Structure 1
Amino acid sequence: MKTSAFVAGLLVAGASRSLALQIPVQRRADSSGKGVQMSRMNSTLFNGKDLSYLTTVTIADQDFKLIIDTGSSDLWIAQNAKGVGSSGIGPVNIPYGTGGVSGNVSFAPFSVGSYKVDSQAFLNNANFSLPQLLSQVSADGLLGLSFDAISSIDITVALATNDTSRGRMPLTNIFASHPSLPNTLSILLTRTDDLEDISGGSFLIGEEADGYEDVLKAPQLQRFKPDGFSGLWTVWMDGATINGNFKALGSALEGAPKGKSLTLLDTGTTTAFIPSSLARQLYGSIPGSFMSGNTTWVVPCMSASNVSFTFGGQVFPVHPLDLTAIQPGVAPDGTNFTYCVGYYQVADVTPETFKSQGQDLLFGDAFLRNVYASFDYGNDSVVRLSNGTLKEAVSENPYVQLLKVTDQDKAWTEFFSVRKQTLQKFPPEPSLDKVRQYLGANASASSDSSQNDAKVQGDAVSGAAASDDSDSTSKLLDQMDKYSPIVIGLLAGNLLIGVLLCAIALAACMRRGTSTSTRSVNPTYAPVRFKDGEESQKMYAPKYND
């Protein structure tokens, strides 16, 4: 992170632009159809029939393709960088939810683009327990881009050598060696269609991409670090809008800003993780959709919802192609078929589970492809003691700025065109009833789930329900509470008038005695004239809609 020399750098900002660099990124598809999930502490890395974004780095004059990951902070390769020996420091064990990576620390020259680090700490020829994850996307390892505070390598080096700087992640070392360089990393993840193996994308160190400079005018979303956590790229989200209905989710963190949700922005994750109630609103409103297992919605491939998320008062639409992924399948009878699953998966967070995760929501590439994101790492240096602990907070005042890149109207046209063409390359998509049968999904259809939407349990962010989450039921109850005294009063008045009329009629009959003379009156109907001069019958809406 930047030292105080950055202040001087601001005075020569023009010179810093020449140091800035745009680094190409490749988007890789996994053709296996198998899902692998890893979670390290507060971060999650998922890759199924989905995508990862890779860039090329050079270690000891050899090129390696690494997954870029803003959700972690360690650099490791599962290949052997020739000519690089072990320092004897270690082993370093980085645990994941379904596996992990381990190895001894090595030091070697490192470069990305034109930026060089003379001696960079990393795990060489690391033992990765899930090698299929890398082979599926043609990756050699992972490049962590979060904060040094969660770097296992940095902590291990500090404990072993009393050297509090050699173990830092590459980006920290780049900033330290270029004090006049703006302490920023900007990422643009793009798409072309459902299936491309390689498409455009880039991340930029120290400047903004041409045409995206307006991101600097966007609100600064301050990184929020919950007590007990070293910090990731977690920022507050205002809420979600689905098919025109805004929903502020709130947070499982006690004392959180009302209605807001702490959201991790993680390029190392393909999907997104949201509360079950929001997922039901997102996918359950689509006719025929159903839950497969406890986390994933299955929906018709040509269907989607209008979805946007709000950060700092800015609305960011999500492209329909980023809501569902095409999946090939084989039925028990050998039939090849195609179906689509939701990128936004269910992960309910409670106040108790928040203590171990540190965020309410996780937004991976499924969301990040819809924004241009500029990460500012703050303006102070890392100070780690020889015992591995931090002397002061790492990265003072880091923040994120987002710029929307998705045009909702154009996105729908692209969705129908691209998805139709893509499905022609796959086996036929059967009815969802047949898909449910093939998958053995013990689930109900969307019509059932939508009826039970108000009964959702375990909302991921139930800790602080938003006051501005207004549904039709609550509005109806409010209206009933407001006007019920008036209605009761009118009914009582009508009853009183009816009793009086009956009494008058009875008295009249008694006075007329046995008289048999009668007078017939022909009933007439006079239409009520409304303001527009039209004759109309009065229509009443039912109180409740099924």
Structure 2
Amino acid sequence: MQALRESQAAQAGSNFTTVVGGSDFDEEYLTNVTFGEQDFLLIVDTGSSDTWAPQIGFACFDLDNNPVPQSQCAFGTSGYDTNASTTFVADPDTNFNIEYGDGEFLTGTVGFDTVTVANMVVTNQEIGVVTNAAWEGDGFDTGLMGLASPNLTSVFKGTNPDDDEFPQTQIPYNPVFYSAVQQGVVSNPFFSVALDRGSFAAQNSSDLDQNLGFIAFGGIAPVDVTDTAVTVPVQGYNAASFLPENGSSVTYFYYTVDVESMSFTGNDKVFGTTNNIILDTGTTLDYVPTQVADAFAAAFDPPAVKNEDFGVYEVVCSATVPEFTVDIGGVTFTVDPADNLLPLGIQDDEGNDLCASGTFDGGPAEEGNIFILGDTFLHNVVVTFNIETDEVTLTQRTPYTNGGTGARRRSPESLRRRSS
């Protein structure tokens, strides 16, 4: 496993601050996590809640549930050896069972171990031990660290995943950071994330991009910011209907916020309130209401055009991109145009390099649809998630460059949407 390098800056903000690295052509964000005495690189995901790794000897499947060689799952190590951990304890009569928004799915057993991340040591942490994986890995990650609510965890009663029903047989538990707060490991009940956009040069390589931002547990990610900031409540849900709802009796699942409006340079329309929108480090693109995505794509010069086969808006990489804006809590946050040109590594009939817009169609703005502010938006802000007050603070980052130019050899199908 290739470990991420620590830097002096990574020690700022709190005692539990560490770097994140980019993988999968800088479309995933990973950090070092230890189970017992075994080290892994795990995906940092605010759109799900479970922390897991594959057990050594796991079975690999494609997304159609057909058995394939282990190598096709492309984990960064051979897996987690529970027998080699002196602190692992199995949790009998339970099972781990999750499916992500991009179609990947996992089942397995459940146990407890000491989990260490950013020098933050959490004892007796419940984790998923994956024995069956349909996973499209990148050769570096060996699992995922979920940071959302306990209500979204994926442990169930019994040992047969076919009998699992959410929430009837679910057994909620505390994710890693919730456990750290409960155990008094951190002095503040919040964590903070700053994700850098990768340079085109780094994204032209399949190597690990080792310093691509920070995650701070109990502190604030140490990057330059502006005075533009707001703190807003996390939106709760009606547990029965799974629809967003405000009030004192709501259930929390995702880090969901109310967005008052979205717009872009030169736009004269008003795109009003959008609720049910998740702040998700595990998703590459922003998934916004159809009318917003279509209007934004049309404002590119030349316009971006939806490619139904690939599921993205395509445009020549030389296009002029409007500055996208998002209003939250009465404050306007801007998205750098660089985040809305994602080279695809393909060309049109005239030999022009083609890019994808980082802002995509998440469906009509109607009841029940979930939208996402993914890495396209998150590259431009520091987000601090307070699990005690159920609030998030967004702070606009000082503009920064992505460090280079060039075409990224990205498969359009690889753009991640991993909220579970």
Question: What's the TM-score once normalised by structure 1's chain length?
Answer: 0.56
Match for residue 391 of structure 2 among 395, 399, 410: 399
Match for residue 369 of structure 1 among 379, 402, 416: 379
SS of the residue corresponding to residue 422 of structure 1 reads coil
Q: What's the CA shift string for 1:349-386, capped at 9, x where partnerless?
A: 3535x1xx5x3x211111101001111112xxxxxxxx
Are 1:320 and 2:320 counterparts?
A: no
Q: What's the CA shift string for 1:448-484, capped at 9, x where partnerless?
A: xxxxxxxxxxxxxxxxxxxxxxxxxxxxxxxxxxxxx
Q: Give, as a single letter, the amino acid of the residue that structure 2 aligns with 1:87.
A: D
Alpha carbons 2:381, 2:395 under 8 Å: kept: yes
Please name the residue that 1:261 is paired with. 275
1:154 Cα offset (Å)? 7.7
Please name the residue that 1:422 is paired with. 406
Q: Give, as a single letter, the amino acid of the residue that structure 2 aligns with 1:109.
A: T
| Cα distance between partner residues in 1 of 2:333 and 2:292 | 17
Q: What's the CA shift string for 1:417-475, capped at 9, x where partnerless?
A: 94xx314x88xxxxxxxxxxxx9xxxxxxxxxxxxxxxxxxxxxxxxxxxxxxxxxxxx
SS of the residue corresponding to residue 187 of structure 2 reads coil
Structure 1 residues 181 and 175 mapped into 2: Cα distance closer, same or farther (>3 Å)? same
Are 1:242 and 2:264 counterparts?
A: yes
Alpha carbons 1:241, 1:308 under 8 Å: kept: yes
Q: What's the CA shift string for 1:505-537, capped at 9, x where partnerless?
A: xxxxxxxxxxxxxxxxxxxxxxxxxxxxxxxxx
Alpha carbons 2:194, 2:215 under 8 Å: kept: yes
Please name the residue that 1:128 is paired with. 133
Are 1:143 and 2:169 counterparts?
A: no
Are 1:205 and 2:217 counterparts?
A: yes
Q: Give, as a single letter, the amino acid of the residue that structure 1 aligns with 2:395.
A: L
Alpha carbons 2:285, 2:374 under 8 Å: kept: yes
After superposition, residues 334-345 of structure 1 pair within 5 angstroms as 338-345=353-360
Question: What's the TM-score once normalised by structure 2's chain length?
Answer: 0.72
| Cα distance between partner residues in 1 of 2:223 and 2:105 | 40
Match for residue 296 of structure 2 among 264, 272, 282: 282
Which one has more relative contact order, counting CA pairs under 8 Å at least 6 apart? Answer: 2
| Cα distance between partner residues in 2 of 1:323 and 1:311 | 20
| Cα distance between partner residues in 2 of 1:177 and 1:367 | 33
1:109 Cα offset (Å)? 1.6
Give RMSD over aligned pairs. 3.4
Please name the residue that 2:234 is paired with. 223
Q: Which sits farther off after the overlay, 107-116 or 182-191? A: 107-116
- Name which one, 1 or 2, has greater alpha-carbon Rg: 1
Structure 1 residues 248 and 176 mapped into 2: Cα distance closer, same or farther (>3 Å)? farther
Shift >4 Å, 4+ stretches? 154-157, 210-215
Alpha carbons 1:66, 1:140 under 8 Å: kept: yes
Q: How many residues align?
A: 342
| Cα distance between partner residues in 1 of 2:286 and 2:181 | 30
| Cα distance between partner residues in 1 of 2:106 and 2:295 | 37
Structure 1 residues 246 and 288 mapped into 2: Cα distance closer, same or farther (>3 Å)? closer
1:51 Cα offset (Å)? 0.6
Q: What's the CA shift string for 1:20-66, capped at 9, x where partnerless?
A: 42121111133xxxxxxxxxxxxxxxxxxx61100110002010100
The unaligned stretches of length 5 or more in structure 1 are 1-16, 31-49, 251-258, 379-396, 427-438, 440-546
SS of the residue corresponding to residue 351 of structure 1 reads coil
Match for residue 300 of structure 1 among 312, 316, 320: 316
1:187 Cα offset (Å)? 0.4
Q: What's the CA shift string for 1:306-341, capped at 9, x where partnerless?
A: 212111122211111210211123899xx9973111
Q: What's the CA shift string for 1:404-426, capped at 9, x where partnerless?
A: 1153xxx7xx58x94xx314x88
| Cα distance between partner residues in 2 of 1:165 and 1:95 | 16
Q: Of Structure 1 and Structure 2, which has the larger fraction of its residues in strand?
A: 2
Please name the residue that 1:432 is paired with. none
SS of the residue corresponding to residue 322 of structure 1 reads helix
Q: Give, as a single letter, the amino acid of the residue that structure 2 aligns with 1:59.
A: F
Please name the residue that 2:154 is paired with. 152
| Cα distance between partner residues in 2 of 1:348 and 1:300 | 24
Structure 1 residues 55 and 123 mapped into 2: Cα distance closer, same or farther (>3 Å)? same
Alpha carbons 1:154, 1:167 under 8 Å: kept: no
Sequence identity of aligned pairs in percent?
Answer: 23
Match for residue 183 of structure 1 among 181, 189, 192: 189
| Cα distance between partner residues in 2 of 1:240 and 1:175 | 35
| Cα distance between partner residues in 1 of 2:147 and 2:326 | 24
1:268 Cα offset (Å)? 0.7
SS of the residue corresponding to residue 283 of structure 2 reads coil
| Cα distance between partner residues in 1 of 2:339 and 2:39 | 31
Q: Which sits farther off after the overlay, 110-119 or 238-247? A: 238-247
Alpha carbons 1:75, 1:144 under 8 Å: kept: yes
Q: Of Structure 1 and Structure 2, which has the larger fraction of its residues in helix?
A: 1
SS of the residue corresponding to residue 345 of structure 2 reads strand
